Amino acid sequence: MGCVSCPLPGINLDEDWQQHPHTELIHTTFIGGDGNFRLRRHNKGGGEVTDPSLFGDDGFYGPNETYKKFCKARDAAPDDTTVSSALINLIMITRQMSTSCVRSGAFMPKGTVDLTRGERFVHFDFALTHILSDILERGITRIVVSYDIACIYHINFHKRLINKNWLLMSPTEQETLKTMKLIWLVPKFHLASHVEGCADKFSFNWTPNVGRTCGEIVETNWASLNRKDTLTDAKIDTNWRKAINEGERVFLPRANLID
C-alpha cells in the first residue's frame, strides 16, 4: 500500500478533478528522496542467497534483479552476489536510498534501493523512474521532487533516462514526462547549507502551489524505523520463527540418534 491521502485518479478523485479551480495545488504528487547510511547489519553474511525477500518485487523495493543488472550496466555499484565470501563483509549493504510522499511521509512502492557504497545519481534514477512510471499511468500531471541535492541532480536527469547502456523509461513514457510539470526543490532545512543561487531557484518558499511543505519528511522516517513498536514487531517475528523452528532443532537430532 502506498499513500492513501495522495490524489490518485480512478482511486479517490471525482471524474472531473481536473476542472477544480485549485487543481495545481491539490492534484500534485510530492516525492521525497533520501539516503539512509546507518543500516548496520541490514544484510549480514551471505546476502540475498541466504536471506531472500518474501515480498519479491511487490513491496517497497525497486525490482531487485533488474536493479542489479542496471547497476552493472551503469557501473553504479557492485551487488552482493558477485563477491566472494571472504570479501562479502567488506562491502555488505549498509545503506539504502528510499522515497516517500512528502505530504504524509508514507513510503512509496518500488521507491527503495540498496546502496553498497556511496549514494549516486543513478541509484535515485532507478527508484524515481519506477515511481514516475506509475504516476504517468495514473494521469497526474504535476510532480514535485524534494531531494537534498536536487539542484545538481536534475541537470542531466533526462539525459540519464536515455543512457545507451540502460533505458530507464520507454520512449512513450519520456514523451509523456515532457508534457508534465516536474518541479525540483531542495528541502528547507537542507537548502540553508547550499550556495546562495540555490535558495532562489529550489526553494519551497518561492514556489507557488506547494503550501507550507518543508520537504524534509523522508528523513524523519529513518527515526521512526527505530521506534520501539517497529523493533517490537521485529522481535515478535524473531519469536515466531523460534517457535516454529525449535522443534526441528530439538527433535530431529534425537530422531537421528534413535535411528
Q: Which grid coordinates belong to 37?
A: 547510511
Instruction: HSE, CB side, 13 Å, CA atoms: give it for residue 62.
Output: 29
Near Zn ion by CB under 5 A, which window of 16-24, 119-127, 172-180, 192-200?
192-200
Taking CB under 5 A as the rule, does residue 88 contact Zn ion? no
Half-sphere exposure of 215 (CA within 13 A, CB side): 25
Half-sphere exposure of 148 (CA within 13 A, CB side): 16
Options 125-133, 138-146, 151-159, 225-233: segment touching Zn ion (CB under 5 A): 151-159
Segment interacting with Zn ion, rule: CB under 5 A, options 67-75, 133-141, 156-164, 191-199: 191-199
Q: Does 217 bind Zn ion (CB under 5 A)?
A: no
The SS3 assignment for 40 reads coil
- Residue placing its CB nearer to Zn ion in the complex, 3 or 113: 3
Give CA–CA dist 105/123, Å, rounded: 20
Our CB check for Zn ion shows the closer of 99 and 176 to be: 99
CB of 231 to Zn ion, least distance (A): 26
Give the Cα separation of 132 and 119 in Å (integer): 20
The helix-helix angle for 64-73 and 121-138 (nearest 10°) equals: 130
Return the residues of window 100-119 that contact Zn ion according to CB under 5 A: 101, 103-104
Element (H, E) at 36: strand 28-36
C-alpha gyration radius of the chain: 21
Measure the CA–CA gap between 254 and 259, rounded to whole angstroms: 9
Half-sphere exposure of 219 (CA within 13 A, CB side): 11
If the CB atoms of residues 3 and 143 are measured against Zn ion, the closer one turns out to be 3
User: Residue 7 Cβ, how far from Zn ion at the closest point, in Å?
Assistant: 8
Cβ closer to Zn ion: 101 or 169?
101
Could you say whether residue 198 binds Zn ion (CB under 5 A)? yes
CB of 3 to Zn ion, least distance (A): 3
Least distance in angstroms from the C-beta of 6 to Zn ion: 3
Rounded Cα distance between 235 and 152, Å, is: 41
Packing angle of the helix pair 171-178, 121-138 (nearest 10 deg): 80
6 binds Zn ion (CB under 5 A): yes
190 touches Zn ion (CB under 5 A): no
At closest approach, how far in Å is the CB of 190 from Zn ion?
Answer: 8
| Interaction between residue 3 and Zn ion (CB under 5 A) | yes
Q: Which amino acid is at 195?
A: V
203 touching Zn ion, by CB under 5 A: no
Among 115, 135, 136, 151, binds Zn ion (CB under 5 A): 151
Q: How many residues bind Zn ion (CB under 5 A)?
A: 9
The residue ranges that bind Zn ion (CB under 5 A) are 3, 5-6, 101, 103-104, 151, 194, 198
